[in-house]
Amino acid sequence: MSNRRAATVKVHPLALLNISDHVTRMCYADQSVGAVRGFLIGYSDGADITITNSFQCVTDELVCAQHASTRIRQYAEVFPNASPVGWYSVGPGGPPSQEAHTFMEGIVGGEDGGESLVALVVRSDNESAWLSKESETLPIQAFERGVDGSFIELNVRICMDDEAENIAVGHVTKNAKQASTAGTYEHLVEPTIGAIAMLNKKIESLLEYVNAVQRQEVEVSRPLLRSISAICDRLTAMSLAGGDGTALRADWDEVVEDCMAVALAAEGTANVAEFCATMDRRRIAARAPKALQMDL
C-alpha cells in the first residue's frame, strides 16, 4: 500500500449514521457484516472529497446495479451537485478486499464516469482502541486506487464546517445521553447555551491573540487585527451595554423567560391532555357495568 495522500475525505454525520444503522441491522439479524456494502454520495472540489449521504446495496449484482442507478438519478434530481463519489464496506482494517472492490467498482464506476472513487472501510476488528467509548478516533479508513493499482490511504475527518450545524449535532448527541431525564426547558435552552459557549471560545482565542501581540510574542498581522476590530463592532449587544454586558445579560434573561414560559405551557397542555384521557377512561369504566346489566 502506498503512503497516505494529502487529500482529505470529509464525511457528513448523516452518512455515518446511515452506515452505522446498516451495520447494526446486519448484526442484529445475525448476518455477516462482510456483506455490508453501500454507495457514497457527495461531491469533489478537485482535491478534497465530501461525502454527504449514503445508501446500502444488495448483494445481487443485477438488482444492485438497477437499484443504484435509480437512487443516484433520484439524488441528482434533488441535489444537482451530488454524484457518486465511492462506496463503503466492512473489513478488519486496511484496504478493501479485492472481491468487494471489483463488485462495487463495476457498479459505481459506470455511474461515476471513470473518475477515481473512494473506498470507505468500516473497521470490524475488536481492538479496544477503536471500540472504546472514550476513544475519539473514528473506526473508518478511506482509500483511493493509485495509478499502479495499489490503494492509497486518505485522511478522514467529520464534515462540520457549518458552525450552526456543529451546535445542532452537539446538542443532539449531548441530549441523547440524558434523554430520559431531560425536560422541555433543557431542550429549549440547550441550543442557545451551546451557541454562547462556542462564541465564548472564539472570543477567548481572539483575546489570547491580542494579548500575545501586546506582549510581542507573535508577529503583528494588521489584516487580522482589522478583522478582530470588525468582529467587536458587530457585537452590538456588548457595545450598547457600554462594555459591562448588561444588554447581553438582559437579552439572555429574556430568552430564558421565554423558554420557561413555553416549557410551562407545554407541561400544562400535556397535563390537561392526560387529565382528559383519565376522565374518559373513568367514564367508560363507569358505563361498562350498566351496559352489561342491560344486555343481561
- What is the per-residue pLDDT across 130-179, written as a single tens digit (0 to 9) for each? 445 555 567 888 888 777 777 888 888 887 655 545 555 555 555 444 44
Position 257 pLDDT exceeds 60: yes
- Which of 63-72, 104-113, 187-196, 200-209 bottoms out in mean pLDDT, i.e. has the lowest? 104-113
pLDDT band for 49, please (50, 70, 90 cuts): confident
Rg (CA), the chain: 27
Q: Measure Cα distances from 280 to 176, 204, 286 in Å.
A: 34, 57, 10
What is the per-residue pLDDT for 65? 77
What is the per-residue pLDDT for 161? 59
Per cent of the chain over pLDDT 70 is 68
Position 272 pLDDT exceeds 70: yes
More confident residue, 11 or 282: 11
Write out the three cell numbers for 129.
Answer: 482502541
- The pLDDT tens digits of the residues spanning 94-129 come to 777 777 777 777 776 655 444 568 888 888 765 444
What is the per-residue pLDDT for 81? 82
For the chain, the average pLDDT equals 73
Position 248 pLDDT exceeds 60: yes
Position 241 pLDDT exceeds 80: no
What is the per-residue pLDDT for 127? 47
123/105 Cα distance (integer angstroms): 20
Q: Give the residue among 17, 39, 55, 6 at the shortest CA–CA distance from 156.
A: 6
Position 292 pLDDT exceeds 60: no
What is the per-residue pLDDT for 188? 62
What is the per-residue pLDDT for 178? 47
166/171 Cα distance (integer angstroms): 8
Position 89 pLDDT exceeds 60: yes
Q: Give the residue among 20, 14, 9 at the shortest CA–CA distance from 139.
A: 20
- Does residue 10 contact residue 159 with C-beta atoms inside 8 Å? yes
What is the per-residue pLDDT for 128? 43
- Does residue 87 contact residue 39 with C-beta atoms inside 8 Å? yes
Position 293 pLDDT exceeds 70: no
- Does residue 38 contact residue 88 with C-beta atoms inside 8 Å? yes
What is the per-residue pLDDT for 114? 46
- Angle at 143 (CA atoms; ends 137, 144), nearest 5 degrees: 155
208/213 Cα distance (integer angstroms): 9
What is the per-residue pLDDT for 193? 73
- The pLDDT tens digits of the residues spanning 16-32 come to 888 888 888 877 777 77
- Burial class of residue 189, CB neighbours in 10 A (0-12, 13-18, 19+): middle
- The strand pair at 151-158 and 140-145 is best described as antiparallel
pTM, rounded to two decimals? 0.52
What is the per-residue pLDDT for 1? 45
More confident residue, 260 or 135: 260
